């Protein structure tokens, strides 16, 4: 593949097969300074959530740490009769280079009902990742840029913001490397607990035989943060997240002005 200062950066990064740091160094030399990354804005988001008939709460946050690394965190609490019966915590530490996360560590831990744990530790040169899934462990060989389940959301947001409609990238998950594929459905206006928002509807495309469906809505006026998620499981259970309140870059997220003609996105 011939590289030039006119080659779209996301196309280069997800096409060239070599360890991530080497690829980043090559791109720094080739691209003009105006093409260098804009760091993401820290955010804090709180959601009304549900898992089938169970009420839940959820929160996601992104912050930069003192050492310059980024920390993304997600927490979901499943409640029954006002008590937490299960919780899921996910965290992802990474560096941010050329509009993309460079993963370092990922941790998933579910407590209470369905207790389980898994983790990833990425090699500094991006060539491999060590994983644990409960009591099992191993090493994954990596070539093209590979992300974790949590920070891959930032990759999706960046690609949607860039105007891409067909989006694919690799994600390390549960001791395997999987291709995540999304298509942009189009713009939609939502009514959420936090108010009325302009959004971009994105659908995850899954392999034949996988009956799980996942739809996401990203706020087009607020750095494309996640404002709604709807996932249907093969057994018929449904998972939903809808934004209650949040902030981006330290500024509270404000909804659009009310209108008599607003309709919510169809599930």
Domain boundaries, the chain: 9-252
Which two three-digit tokens encode residue 123?
């090699």
Predicted local confidence at residue 229, as pLDDT: 97
Predicted local confidence at residue 53, as pLDDT: 78
DSSP state of 11: H
Predicted local confidence at residue 28, as pLDDT: 38
Predicted local confidence at residue 8, as pLDDT: 42
pLDDT digits (tens, 9 = 90+) for 81-140: 888 899 999 999 999 988 899 999 999 999 998 899 999 999 998 899 999 999 999 999
Could you say which residues of the chain have pLDDT below 50?
1-13, 15-16, 22-37, 260-267
Predicted local confidence at residue 19, as pLDDT: 52
| 135-174 per-residue burial string, b: 16 or more CB within 10 A, e: under 16 | eeeeebebebbbbbbbbbbbbbbbbbeeebeebebbbbbe
Predicted local confidence at residue 259, as pLDDT: 72
Predicted local confidence at residue 31, as pLDDT: 40
Predicted local confidence at residue 14, as pLDDT: 55
Predicted local confidence at residue 195, as pLDDT: 97
Residue 54 and residue 56: Cα distance in Å, rounded?
6
Rg (CA), the chain: 19
Predicted local confidence at residue 9, as pLDDT: 44
In DSSP terms, which residues pair with 178 in a beta bridge? Answer: 171
Residue 120 and residue 172: Cα distance in Å, rounded?
8
Residue 251 and residue 240: Cα distance in Å, rounded?
25
């Amino acid at each position: 593949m011939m590289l030039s200062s006119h080659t779209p950066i996301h196309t280069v990064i997800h096409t060239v097969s070599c360890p991530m740091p080497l690829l980043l160094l090559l791109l720094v030399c080739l691209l003009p300074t105006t093409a260098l990354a804009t760091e993401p804005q820290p955010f804090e988001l709180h959601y009304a959530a549900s898992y089938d008939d169970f009420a839940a709460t959820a929160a996601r946050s992104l912050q930069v740490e003192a050492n310059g690394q980024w920390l993304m965190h997600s927490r979901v609490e499943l409640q029954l009769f006002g008590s937490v019966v299960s919780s899921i915590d996910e965290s992802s530490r990474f560096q941010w280079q050329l509009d993309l996360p460079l993963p370092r560590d990922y941790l998933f831990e579910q407590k209470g009902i369905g207790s389980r744990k898994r983790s990833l530790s990425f090699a500094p040169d991006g060539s491999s990742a060590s994983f644990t899934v409960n009591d099992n462990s191993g090493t994954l060989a990596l070539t093209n840029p590979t992300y974790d389940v949590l920070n891959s959301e930032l990759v999706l947001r960046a690609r949607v913001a860039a105007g891409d409609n067909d989006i694919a990238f690799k994600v390390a998950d549960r001791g395997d490397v999987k291709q995540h594929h999304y298509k942009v459905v189009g713009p939609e206006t939502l009514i959420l607990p936090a108010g009325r928002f302009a959004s971009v509807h994105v659908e995850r495309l899954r392999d034949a035989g996988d009956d799980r469906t996942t739809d996401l809505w990203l706020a087009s006026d607020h750095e494309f943060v996640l404002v709604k998620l709807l996932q249907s499981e093969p057994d018929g259970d449904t998972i939903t997240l809808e934004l209650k309140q949040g902030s981006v870059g330290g500024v509270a997220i404000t909804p659009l002005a009310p209108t008599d003609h607003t309709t919510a996105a169809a599930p």
